[in-house]
Structure 1
């Protein structure tokens, strides 16, 4: 009887220790280019100590913003990134498999701003690469969640530089990119969903939080989501991107971060703007897509 009681006691103790042990952190990998690492803004070098840069370039970028949000939301994430400026997803699949082929819980894919550098607007190369990376990730972890970012419209290609989007509404490029990514999802079921960053930018213009044309001056009370090259994002633009990604991946209501959110303060963003960007991100993430 004593032996049985001792055995039961050991079992109970082991069970209690198991229940008390903290859950392992979820892992997330960001694969992308300058739109992920925050080029031409202070976001690029923001808190690189928070993340693991697989290319060892000392980049924090949007992944570091994600990690900062997670800490404030009480979520435990290990965040890694593998980025290369001016590159598409095919480059990462062809040249960076050694770095990224591992077991991840979530993988975020961000492709070239025009889908294809040689054939702007053509989704063929983008889709094939996204599908190949997703299949590789599923071989490493059949339960991995792969999300594909739909990026924003470029002001330079809308207003100045010859492109398929010149002369069209500033929202058109983001809408076309989102449609292309929806087609990728239908073709490759290994990809779990898309992240509507470009649509959030469109919403910011519609709600007059951001000015849609930086070439004619920025309206009073509005913000420029692009940086000086009217191509990459400003700190506010990358901040909105990070909010949308975090809200979509975690399901957390980013409005709860509040206007005094830590990364926003570090980047010098005006508190009222921060609250408005959080509201826009939440609205876009929770919008019902037909």
Structure 2
């Protein structure tokens, strides 16, 4: 190009590829309640509510950067809220063109009728329509979340006395129905929890004492996730959205080190995430 005019030489250079944009919409299961994950990597994401949250989106951003991907990551979260609430109360904030959106519903689907999928199906359809209004080609992913021990191992609850896989399985089936209506993919996060349990890497019942050789996936309230659980959630979402095998991040992955995980623990979580994606959740049944 040395004999060409400078302006023409610059015009012939390849244009830089724009970063992909991704928005996470959810509640405490997305922002990482009861865990240092909540603030970790907050400098790597844009919190549309200005609350300096990192959460699962911050972990996603870290994984993307470590994998050589260019993603601009944003989040809009509020504790204990449904997708319908985000649409009604934050529609003006989240309603813009995104390349990808990750949606996380309330932990029991319907706060008033635990396990009932009807509201989730309707709300997913409506919020998907909002995003497609701004970008008809937006990719959507819905997270199917985890079994809550407080609803399984305590008496008088919706899933009391059922196997640890049952609640996650019910949530997955409901999310599949909602995703079919919304034309979205599903990230089998809850089933990845059960995959980790079935592999022997994680403890199944926090109420009977944590096996010292196994990771606790839940926080002290046996409702929200622990740092291990949120890390596993982020791995599954990252793998589903990008198509990258989470095991490629390696046992020395940086965010896991920041959270104090051993390399063996990190590798086991990455293996559980891979298994959940590779089997479409079958390892968690």
TM-score (norm 2): 0.94
Q: 1:6 to 1:73 in 2, by over 3 A?
A: closer
Tell me which residue corresponds to 1:218: 210
Aligned mate of 1:28, from 22, 26, 35:
22
User: Counterparts of 2:280 and 2:34 in 1: how far apart (Å)?
Assistant: 33
Aligned mate of 2:157, from 154, 163, 175:
163
Say if 2:249 is the partner of 1:253: no
Aligned mate of 2:263, from 266, 271, 280:
271
Residue pair 1:120, 1:163 contacting (<8 A) in 2 also:
no
Tell me which residue corresponds to 2:195: 203
Structure 1 residue ranges (4+ consecutive) displaced by more than 4 angstroms after TM superposition:
none
Query: For 1:123-152, what per-residue CA distance to the aligned partner results, in whole angstroms no more than 9, with x for missing partners?
Result: 111111111111111110011001110000
Q: 1:210 to 1:6 in 2, by over 3 A?
A: closer
Q: Is the partner of 1:233 in helix, strand or coil?
A: coil
Report deviation, 1:192. Answer: 2.2
Aligned mate of 1:153, from 124, 147, 153:
147
User: Counterparts of 2:93 and 2:183 in 1: how far apart (Å)?
Assistant: 20
Report deviation, 1:22. Answer: 2.1
Alignment of 1:171-250 (within 5 A): 171-186=165-180, 188=181, 190-250=182-242
Q: 1:274 to 1:15 in 2, by over 3 A?
A: same
Residue pair 1:88, 1:112 contacting (<8 A) in 2 also:
yes
Aligned mate of 1:16, from 12, 16, 29:
12
Residue pair 1:226, 1:234 contacting (<8 A) in 2 also:
yes
Alignment of 1:54-73 (within 5 A): 54-73=48-67
User: Counterparts of 2:43 and 2:239 in 1: how far apart (Å)?
Assistant: 22
Residue pair 2:124, 2:179 contacting (<8 A) in 1 also:
no
User: Counterparts of 1:161 and 1:100 in 2: how far apart (Å)?
Assistant: 39
CA RMSD of aligned residues (A): 1.7
Q: 1:92 to 1:245 in 2, by over 3 A?
A: same
User: Counterparts of 2:11 and 2:279 in 1: how far apart (Å)?
Assistant: 42
Query: For 1:133-184, what per-residue CA distance to the aligned partner results, in whole angstroms no more than 9, with x for missing partners?
Result: 1111111001100111000000000011532211100110000000001111
Report deviation, 1:16. Answer: 2.6
Report deviation, 1:56. Answer: 0.7
User: Counterparts of 1:259 and 1:288 in 2: how far apart (Å)?
Assistant: 23
Structure 1 gap ranges (5+): none
Moved more, 142-151 or 155-164: 155-164
Aligned mate of 1:281, from 257, 262, 273:
273
User: Counterparts of 1:262 and 1:165 in 2: how far apart (Å)?
Assistant: 37
TM-score (norm 1): 0.93
- Computing the radius of gyration from Cα coordinates, the structure with the larger value is 1
Moved more, 33-42 or 220-229: 220-229
